[in-house]
Each structure stands twice: as structure tokens, then as C-alpha cells.
Amino acid sequence: MYKLAKKVNPFMIILLALGAFVTGTAEFVVSGILEIISFDLNVSISSAGQLVAVYSLSYAIGALVLVLLTAKYERKKVLLYAIFTFILGNLIAVFSYNYILLMLSRVIMGMSGGLYIVVATNYAAQIATAEKRGSAMATVITGFTVSLVLGVPIGTFLAAHLNWRFIFLIIAFVTIILFLLLHKLLPRIKGNDPVPFKQQIQIIKDKRVITVLTTTIFWILGYTMVFAYISPLLSNSAGFSIEMTSIALFVLGTFAFIGSRFGGYTVDKWGPNRTISISLFVHAVALLVFTFTQYSVIGVFITLAVWGAATWTTTPAKQFYLISLKPQSSETVLSFNTALMNIGMMLGSALGGIIIQYTNILNLSWIGSLFVILALVFIKYSFHLNESDSRNIEMRRQTSQKKDI
């Protein structure tokens, strides 16, 4: 599976991470400028929030359906076509002067972004040395979380002083540079033989895999329910201005970056079980505590720091664990994971919108915590199943050896 590069310029991994950065910025920046878009396009906050949900659904389709449809094609070409389409989606957003056109741009960006992130993450694993695969995957994911550190708060700040459409013009410009660099420098990887539908079903029929994928849905649902509406939430609870919200998002993103790097380090050193369990527990506690700290400026910053670090520590460890379950079908399981992650984002955005519409926006964090607790329950069950399978395999091996003797 990983026969490719023994010595690859780390700059290649950074370029792949840059692609994750621009797709992450395009996805998450809307959360920081939700009120501005709502006012400009004359739609409600809950309607504007569905721009996050639609992007996530489209991302899921790209990560699952498009990955499977393009599996047999040379991976560099697939990666470049995905980036080119993503650029077009951003340019459409620049000229979106009504809600429907902006929604269309989100669909195009989401589908191409979903295809890109799965191929890029697996690309990083293939071109890295054996002992650095966890870190290589974490670096690509770090690009995604750096969008929270830089892309989202900077985009939010710019939207306060310029037209919000300029954000997507800047994203398009950066992505064009990325396209040219990848076209020139990225090594080629052959496509895979198409995975038959029956084999795909066999992969997800594995109870260990199903429980991890269920964990993914509940984990990101709890996170997105709060994050998608972070701007109006902080405005209502702590009286944050758009500038203060951009600072809060910078704090969240900085610690998300730290978490993703820490997750890559700990999964290589401690293994996925311990890393995932601790990070999910801290994530759930942080959201629960946020219910009480969201009224204080200091409380908001401290809680966002812990929340961001815990949430994104989970990501590289969970992807590493999935690949360890199905090493011969790594891209397929990653595509399922990415697809369901974005379905979870869609559900979180949609459910958050319903909560805002019918109850109080201040309820979002404690409800989100309940979903993260469910994620912890499911991943613990997956670990139990995996350990049982490992013991059974070892017992059969020992029995077979005794018979041979």
C-alpha cells in the first residue's frame, strides 16, 4: 500500500496541508460572518446557517461518491481537477448577490473540497516514511485547523471592514498559486483498482468500523452545533462585537492547531485508544462548562482554548485508528469518515438552527456536549471490539501452532 516515497521533500506535505487550509477557510469562515451575510442577503440567521449545512453535505458527497468514482484515475490529476473546481466555486461566491447563487457556490466548493481532502490525506500517508505516517496525516489536518487559526478570524475581521465577498476572492487567488505549485512539484501516484460495491459494504459492515464512523458523526455534530453559530452566540451571551468575535476565533483556532499537532504526536507515541478517549472526554466537559462561562470574556477565551485543543486532537488519532482497522482500504475508509464527518456537520448546523428558532441560542453548548458523550461511548465500544478480535486472532494462531507441533 505504502510502497511509494522513502524520501520525500516535506514541502510536498505542506502544500497538501495548504489545500486543506483553503478548503477549511471556505467552509468555516461563514460561521464568523453569519450575521453580515444574513443582513446583506436579507435572510434569517437560521437560513444563513444552512450555508454551512449545505457545504457540509456537498463535502460529504465529494468525499464519498467522487472519491469512489475517481479511484481508478491517477491521483495527481484527481487532486488538480478538485482544486480547479474549488477555485471556480469561490469565484461564483464572489459574484453571489442572492442567497441561491451563494448556495450554489457552496455546493461546488463543498464537493471539490471533500474530494480533495480525502485524496490529499491519503497522499500524505503514501509519500511519508512508515514511522511518520501519523504525523504526515496530522500535518494535512493541521492545514484544516490552521484555517481556524488564521483563515476564519482574518476573514471575519475583513468582513467587518470590507465586503464579505472579498474573502472568497482571496481564497481563489491563494488556491490558484497552490494549483500551480502542485502541478509542477507533486509526485504522481497511480490510481487504485475500483473497489466493488460489495467490498465497500463489507468494509462498513465491520462493527469496529461502524462504531468509529458513528463516533465521527456525534463528535462533529456536537462541535458544529456550537461553532456554526459562534458569532451570534457570543454576541448574545458575552456582548461580543465582530472584532471581538474574530479574536475569539483566533484563540479557538490557535488551540485547534495545537491540538491537531498534539494528536499527531500522541498517536505515534501513545496509540489512538488513549488519545481519542481523553480528547473526547475533555471536549464534552469543555462544552458543558461553556454553558456557564459564555457570559464572561475571560471564561469564553479559556473555554474556547480547551475546546479547540481537545476537538482537533481527536482527528488525526481517529483517522490513524481507522486506517489501522482497514490498511488495504485506507482511502475508502477515510472517504467514509470524511463523508460522515460532514454529514455530522450538516446535522449540527441544521439542529443548531432549529434550537435557535424554537428555544434559546444559549442552550447550544450543553446540548452539543451530550452528543460528544455519545461519541465517547461508541469509540469505547469500537476499542472493545478491536481488542476482542485481536485476542481471538492470537488464540487461533497459538492453537494452529500447537497443532503443527
Which amino acid, residue 194?
A: P
The three-class DSSP label of residue 96 is coil
- Helix H, strand E, coil C: the string for 97-146 is CCHHHHHHHHHHHHHHHHHHHHHHHHHHHHHCCHHHHHHHHHHHHHHHHH
CA 323 to chain centre: 16
* Per-residue pLDDT at 246: 84
> What confidence tens digit (pLDDT) does each residue in 47-101 have?
888 898 888 889 888 888 888 788 788 888 999 999 999 999 999 999 998 999 9
Mean local confidence (pLDDT), 124-151: 74
Cβ atoms within 10 Å of 334's Cβ, excluding its own: 23
Separation CA 257–CA 106 (nearest Å) = 25
The answer on pLDDT for 284 being more than 50 is yes
Nearest CA-CA partner of 75 in 143, 108, 124: 124
The answer on pLDDT for 8 being more than 60 is no
Burial of 314 (0-12, 13-18, 19+ CB in 10 A): buried
- Kindly report the average pLDDT of the chain as a whole number: 85
Instruction: At 384, list the grid cell.
Output: 472493545
The answer on pLDDT for 39 being more than 70 is yes
CB of 131 within 8 A of CB of 78?
Answer: no
* Per-residue pLDDT at 100: 94
Separation CA 148–CA 123 (nearest Å) = 23
The answer on pLDDT for 401 being more than 80 is no
> What confidence tens digit (pLDDT) does each residue in 238-265 have?
889 888 988 898 898 889 888 988 887 8
> What confidence tens digit (pLDDT) does each residue in 192-220 have?
555 565 666 677 778 899 999 999 999 99
The three-class DSSP label of residue 265 is helix
Nearest CA-CA partner of 267 in 122, 141, 119, 116: 141
* Per-residue pLDDT at 263: 86
CA angle 240, 224, 28 (to 5 degrees): 70
The answer on pLDDT for 6 being more than 60 is no
Instruction: At 319, list the grid cell.
Output: 483517522
- Show the domains of the chain with their CATH numbers: 10-387 (1.20.1250.20)
What pTM, to 2 d.p., does this model score? 0.75
Nearest CA-CA partner of 369 in 316, 295, 310: 310
Q: DSSP characters for 203-257?
A: HHHSHHHHHHHHHHHHHHHHHHHHHTTHHHHHHHHT---HHHHHHHHHHHHHHHH
Q: Who's near 378: CB < 8 A, 6+ residues apart?
A: 211, 212, 214, 215, 218
CB of 87 within 8 A of CB of 54?
Answer: no
Mean local confidence (pLDDT), 13-33: 89
CB of 326 within 8 A of CB of 382?
Answer: no
By mean pLDDT, which of 114-118, 133-137, 347-351 is the weakest?
133-137
Cβ atoms within 10 Å of 399's Cβ, excluding its own: 10
CB of 160 within 8 A of CB of 243?
Answer: yes
* Per-residue pLDDT at 1: 41
Nearest CA-CA partner of 161 in 21, 297, 33, 27: 33
The three-class DSSP label of residue 340 is helix
* Per-residue pLDDT at 3: 45
By mean pLDDT, which of 25-34, 52-61, 67-76, 329-338 is the weakest?
329-338
More confident residue, 148 or 381: 381
Confidence of residue 383 (pLDDT cuts 50, 70, 90): very high
CB of 149 within 8 A of CB of 20?
Answer: no
The answer on pLDDT for 396 being more than 70 is no
Mean local confidence (pLDDT), 218-227: 93
Confidence of residue 146 (pLDDT cuts 50, 70, 90): confident
* Per-residue pLDDT at 2: 41
More confident residue, 161 or 85: 85
